[in-house]
Amino acid sequence: MSSRRYRITVDGNAHEVEVGDVAASPVRVNVDGVDYDVEVPGKPARGQTPARPPASTGTAARPAARPTTTAASTPAPSAPSPSASANAMTAVMPGRVLSVAVSVGDSVGRGDLICVIEAMKMEQQIGASKDGTISAVHVSDGDSVAHGQILVEFE
């Protein structure tokens, strides 16, 4: 499957988005020239085939990287910005920080909840991009964040 291009507007800002093949995970997504690998729960890992085909629900396919709105779901790891160090995690979208779930010194595993960001009245749970110990927290509840802004740093 070839990639698809979209022009989206978030909080009044236009973005060019290209979404790669969504048949397997991770999916390559390019936002304004920056590539991200987005994990898609329930999709086979790239290069593997599913044990059995998924049952059809008769509904249309949904975008690969849609925001979650329930606290029970597993947060998606945040992709680092190319300008941020390998030890920093950055905001994947602009928005308002609803809550921060970690403090300096906390040990986290890949996917553990770091914070919740609200954008366009939808909550996005931001999960740790890797295993490690939090060495700095750069945001607080209620802060506004820009795309690519550093949220936390790891030791």
Asked if residue 148 lies in contact with residue 124, where contact means CB atoms within 8 angstroms, the answer is: no
Distance between terminal CA atoms of the chain? Answer: 39
pLDDT for 11-57, tens place per residue? 778 888 888 887 777 888 888 778 777 877 766 776 655 555 444 44
Residue 125 lies in a domain: yes
Same domain, 85 and 27: no
Same domain, 31 and 80: no
Token pair in block for residue 139: 């945001």
Residue 14 lies in a domain: yes
Mean pLDDT of the chain: 77
Same domain, 96 and 146: yes
Average pLDDT over residues 86-111: 93
Q: What are phi and psi of 65, to 5 degrees?
A: -115, 60
Same domain, 100 and 148: yes
Same domain, 90 and 149: yes
Residue 51 lies in a domain: no
Nearest C-alpha neighbor of 33 from the set 147, 152, 154: 147
Nearest C-alpha neighbor of 135 from the set 102, 105, 107, 90: 105
Same domain, 12 and 81: no
Residue 116 lies in a domain: yes
Q: What is the pLDDT of residue 57?
A: 46
Q: What is the pLDDT of residue 60?
A: 40
Predicted confidence band of residue 82 (pLDDT cuts 50, 70, 90): very low
Percent of the chain with pLDDT over 90: 35
Residue 129 lies in a domain: yes
Q: What is the pLDDT of residue 59?
A: 39
Same domain, 34 and 81: no
The total number of structural domains that make up the chain: 2
Same domain, 87 and 32: no
Residue 53 lies in a domain: no
Res 1 pLDDT > 70: no
Q: What is the pLDDT of residue 153?
A: 95
Domain containing 119 — which CATH number? 2.40.50.100
Res 69 pLDDT > 60: no
Lowest mean pLDDT among 69-83, 113-127, 134-148: 69-83
Question: Domain of 94?
Answer: 76-154
Residue 58 lies in a domain: no
Residue 143 lies in a domain: yes
